[in-house]
């Protein structure tokens, strides 16, 4: 038994490298990443807190670990291909009333990305009533990238946000019907956010600096700079769950994951045109870039990742058909704004979120064809937390999503199985409607339509010892 334990634990640790070296990209509403379990992918994650069919229950409901015997390992990989395109409808700048010129540039091409999202889980029975486990997942992620000269370049060019969650958990069976579970999350966030800066418009609209614009040839939208913010942090949270086994074929599960609060810190690297870096005697030999605070410095920001509450049901019929349903509340309203503070004294960079909480709904089914093969399907509705087009940004061009999922499992032996799944996510058409005022004064007032969709392919290997 000890030899099997160390062999399986070694497999688990070896796969950790794959997890921590992969970045996330949002597949669910906001910038949540749903793909923890490939088995769950096949049923649109319906019944996640009640199914407890493999080691991924560490994430969805730790109480479900009491249903797993011996040592269980589940290692999966999902490829998310997210595609969306923006169509500019005539986006004004703060100087449009004077110059009759809108934001220049194209539509940005396909702003989506394709990323691999791993999920890794390990559970071990300690005795008949106590089970321990650990999961490593990427619960949140964001990946968008546009062409450098596109119309929305002052809002974003590239956004790459990755989280890694390390979640040791324990579960206890109180009696034949009730189990409880508790987990602790150590969550790492790494972010890179880049965008252009319209130095030409900033200087021409500045009451003290506009006199230098013409002599230096600094014109609106023709003297762009760039800034890239990179920052990271660790945060901690918890998850709890309870599982009611109403009968041999019916289960009801509830789980809660707390929010995680980050205070990220890192660097802000600026690139400015040569015309903005000419020393000016009238400014004490400082340059326009220095006067505007566009010099390499540190950056800090506070950001909360939302908590979640799930209620799920799982029921098997006599013909080998299992029905599942899930309702999940996401506490997106904790994201009020992203405020980046710079170490060089420059004005804060503020992006208002003002998101709403959401309810994700999913139903699914699984049918055992024979002792080896099970097939699954699922349907889910995942509404966007972004209530108004005037706070939607091209960094997170989110929309309501409908999931159509298929999948299955094949038992290669008593100790080893293969899971596979596919999901097509249809995103509703949406808009961005910003005005060049307030925090967007020099970013520009984006007016655009957004169309998008996603494909997710997943495969996982499960092992028992």
What are the average pLDDT values for consecutive 10-residue runs of the chain, which has 465 residues? 46 45 55 83 94 94 96 92 91 91 93 86 96 94 90 94 94 97 96 95 92 93 95 96 95 97 95 95 94 94 94 93 96 92 90 93 96 96 92 90 96 92 94 94 94 93 91
Instruction: Find, among 102, 111, 105, the residue nearest to 150 by Cα.
Output: 105
What residues pair up with 323 in beta bridges, in sequence order? 315, 365
Q: What are the structural domains of the chain? A: 2-464 (2.40.160.60)
Q: For the chain, count helices (H), then strands (E).
A: 8, 20
pTM above 0.85, yes or no: yes
Secondary element (H or E) of residue 207: none
How high is the pLDDT of residue 28?
57
DSSP string, 120-189: EEEEEESSSSEEEEEEEE--BEEEEE--TT-TTTTT-SEEEEEEEEEEEEEEEE-SSSEEEEEEEEEEEE
Predicted confidence at residue 19, as pLDDT, reads: 46
pLDDT, tens digit, for every residue of 190-231? 999 999 999 999 999 999 999 999 999 999 999 999 999 999
**pLDDT reported for residue 319:** 86
Place of tokens 């997890």: 19
pLDDT tens for each residue of 295-327? 999 999 999 999 999 999 999 998 889 999 999
Residue with tokens 């992006």: 351
Q: Of 40, 38, 191, 50, which Cα lies nearest the Cα of 117?
A: 38
Q: In the prediction, which pLDDT does 258 show?
A: 97
Q: Where are the beta strands (DSSP E) in 258-400?
A: 260-271, 297-305, 308-316, 321-330, 337-342, 349-352, 358-368, 373-382
Model pLDDT, residue 33: 81
């Amino acid at each position: 038994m000890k030899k099997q334990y160390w062999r399986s634990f070694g497999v688990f640790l070896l796969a950790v490298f794959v997890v921590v070296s992969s970045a996330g990209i949002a597949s669910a509403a906001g910038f949540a990443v749903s793909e923890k379990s490939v088995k769950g992918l096949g049923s649109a994650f319906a019944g996640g807190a009640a199914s407890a069919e493999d080691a991924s229950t560490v994430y969805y409901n730790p109480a479900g670990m009491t249903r797993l015997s011996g040592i269980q390992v589940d290692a999966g990989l999902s490829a998310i291909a997210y595609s969306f395109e923006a169509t500019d409808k005539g986006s004004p700048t703060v100087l449009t009333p004077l110059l009759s010129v809108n934001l220049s540039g194209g539509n940005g091409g396909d702003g989506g990305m394709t990323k691999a999202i791993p999920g890794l889980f390990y559970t071990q029975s300690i005795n008949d009533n106590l089970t321990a486990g650990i999961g490593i997942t990427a619960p949140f992620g964001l990946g968008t990238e546009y062409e450098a000269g596109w119309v929305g370049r002052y809002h974003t060019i590239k956004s790459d946000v990755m989280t890694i969650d390390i979640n040791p958990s324990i579960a206890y069976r109180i009696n034949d019907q009730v189990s409880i579970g508790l987990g602790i999350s150590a969550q790492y966030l790494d972010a890179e956010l880049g965008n252009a800066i319209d130095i030409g418009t900033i200087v021409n609209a500045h009451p003290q600096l506009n006199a230098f614009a013409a002599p230096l040839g600094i014109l609106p939208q023709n003297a762009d700079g760039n800034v890239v913010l990179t920052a990271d942090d660790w945060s901690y949270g918890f998850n709890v769950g309870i599982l009611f086994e109403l009968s041999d074929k019916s289960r009801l599960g509830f789980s809660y994951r707390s929010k995680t609060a980050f205070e990220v810190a890192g660097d802000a690297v600026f690139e400015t045109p040569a015309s903005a870096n000419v020393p000016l005697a009238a400014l004490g030999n400082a340059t326009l870039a220095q006067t505007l605070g566009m010099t390499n410095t540190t950056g800090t920001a506070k950001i909360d990742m939302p908590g979640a509450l799930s209620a799920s049901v799982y029921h098997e019929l006599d013909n080998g058909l299992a029905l599942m349903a899930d309702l999940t509340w996401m506490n997106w309203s904790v994201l009020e704004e992203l405020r980046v503070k710079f170490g060089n004294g420059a004005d804060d960079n503020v992006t208002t979120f003002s998101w709403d909480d959401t309810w994700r709904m999913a139903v699914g089914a699984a049918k055992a064809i024979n002792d080896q093969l099970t097939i699954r399907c699922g349907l889910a509705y995942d509404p966007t937390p972004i209530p108004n087009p005037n706070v939607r940004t091209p960094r997170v061009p989110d929309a309501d999503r409908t999931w159509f999922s298929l999948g299955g499992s094949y038992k290669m032996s008593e100790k080893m199985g293969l899971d596979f799944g596919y999901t097509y996510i249809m995103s509703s058409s949406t808009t961005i409607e910003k005005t060049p005022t307030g925090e967007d004064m020099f970013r520009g007032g984006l007016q655009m339509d957004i169309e998008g969709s996603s494909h997710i392919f997943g495969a996982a290997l499960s092992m028992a010892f």
